[in-house]
Structure 1
Amino acid sequence: MTSDHLSGVLERLDTWLEGNTPGEVPALNPSATQDAIDRVAEGRFSLHPDLVALLRWHNGIRFGLPHNAGYILPGGYSILPAQSMEGGQREMEQLVAWSLEEDTDEVVTMFIVADGVEIVGDGQTHYLREDLGLTAAPATAHVKWVPIGATRSGDRLVVDHRHGPMYGNVHAVAHDGTDFQTAWDSVRAMCEDMLISLEANQPLTACRLGSGYVPRIRTTSFGAMLDWEII
């Protein structure tokens, strides 16, 4: 399916949120600028079209609102602004660099991963670009992972930009790096799953987080809010 299809899904999500949970709407930022989108990966790799469509829908949320609006993704995740995606990807690079460092103070070798990006290693092990993850299995950081969502406790959703069967997958990574799982096959699958669930008031069907989620509308003094109840 094309990015035009995803844009239509996102427009319908807007319509549902505005009509059913207006308390969430003030937290959603306007579309990201093309410059902000370009800076997320900044020439390291091309952003997945689904991620570009997500940023053109809303540039994440405004953090710090008194009623914690905007955490609309299942599992209590918000959508991150482009600037936070950019910072999160650079943090991934640093985590990978630290994971490859030698434990001594000896000189380390520099591995060029992309133009202008240097990753340090122990000078003995040879790393392929696609192998530069924090741990072998499960990986908890990768230079081609872009964080797109976060919970208030620091757990993150990342989009995988590695070539191969996981390209475009949305992974959930625990804040302490102890857990990693694929939550959806793609951003498109995540958004479609949410839309079908919200419009039909039924459990998610494509999400692989935990035992599953069903949408619930919560009434507050700031307006109706969206919760995802664990099944």
Structure 2
Amino acid sequence: MTDLIRAWERIEAWLREHQCTSALSSLHPPASEEAVQSLQDALAYPLHPDLLQWLSIHGGAPLYRAPVWPGGHVPYDVDVLAGGPEYMEEMLEEFSEQRAEDPEHWAQDPWADPLWLPVAGTNTGESLLVDHRPGDTYGSVIEVDYEGNEVTAVRWRSLGEMVRLMAESLESGLPMPYSNQYVRVPRLDEGPPRSLDWKLEKVENQG
């Protein structure tokens, strides 16, 4: 059993203990070997091991019905994951068009890459992506908010690290690392239905 799988078991145990099972019950069962192979065949690069481990636990969820990851992100199911490369291509085209309109004043880094795979999204348009580029960034989890000031930002070094930090935060009640300026703090929303929310809070006493 891998560290990611163990950490997710701790998360599910916490959610059940605190009666936050609505989103949890919406998650799909493990993705079948056939579904994972079909996904792999649709990609031009091998899936990151952490993502394969996640799919062995849950094959995603219905869009926007299981916000179990920080920031209200819902993990995509296998069919949506397979459309990631096409979506990245569309976003790169949009980026290139906007940069071409005003190249002298364009300072933003690209907000898409052929080796970024969208793995989760929110109902307000933010996405989490796993970086499949070789090198130091390989496996990192990137948050993309096309309407935000910080369009792309690396949040965690890997999907496994994200899940481990979630488990540690839930069990300790301490904030979950998120950025240099903010943390995610687990809070219970009494609902109904009872649910878990990861509140965004500014880091105090910086410097």
Give the SS at the match of 1:172. Answer: strand
Equivalent residue, structure 2, for 1:183: 155
Give the SS at the match of 1:167. Answer: coil
> How far did residue 204 of structure 1 move?
0.6
> How far did residue 39 of structure 1 move?
3.0
* Cα distance in 2, alignment partners of residues 4 and 210 from structure 1: 31
Tell me whether 1:78 sits opposite 2:74 in the alignment.
yes
Q: Which deviates more from structure 2 when the two are superposed, residues 21-30 or residues 136-145? A: 136-145
Tell me whether 1:163 sits opposite 2:159 in the alignment.
no
* Cα distance in 2, alignment partners of residues 46 and 158 from structure 1: 15
Deviations 1:40-64 (A, max 9, x none): 3425110000011111111112236
Give the SS at the match of 1:214. Answer: strand
Equivalent residue, structure 2, for 1:18: 16
Give the SS at the match of 2:130. Answer: strand
* Cα distance in 2, alignment partners of residues 19 and 92 from structure 1: 39
Counterparts of residues 180-219 of structure 1 (less than 5 Å): 180-205=152-177, 207-208=178-179, 211-219=182-190
Counterparts of residues 128-143 of structure 1 (less than 5 Å): 138-143=109-114
CA separation of 1:210/1:151 partners in 2, compared to 1, >3 Å: closer, same or farther? farther
| Amino acid paired to 1:52 | L
> How far did residue 155 of structure 1 move?
0.9
Equivalent residue, structure 1, for 2:5: 7
Q: Is the 8 A contact 1:22 1:225 kept in 2?
A: yes
Counterparts of residues 12-51 of structure 1 (less than 5 Å): 12-20=10-18, 21-41=20-40, 42-51=42-51
Deviations 1:88-146 (A, max 9, x none): 22211333356668xxxxxxxxxxxxxxxxxxxxxxxxxxxxxxxxx995221111111
Could you tell me the percent identity over the aligned residues? Answer: 29
Q: Is the 8 A contact 1:37 1:82 kept in 2?
A: yes
Tell me whether 1:93 sits opposite 2:89 in the alignment.
yes
- TM-score between the two structures when normalised by the length of structure 1: 0.74
Where in structure 1 do 4 or more consecutive aligned residues deviate above 4 Å? 97-101
Q: Is the 8 A contact 2:27 2:60 kept in 1?
A: yes
Unaligned runs of 5+ in 1: 102-134
> How far did residue 212 of structure 1 move?
1.0
CA separation of 1:89/1:17 partners in 2, compared to 1, >3 Å: closer, same or farther? farther
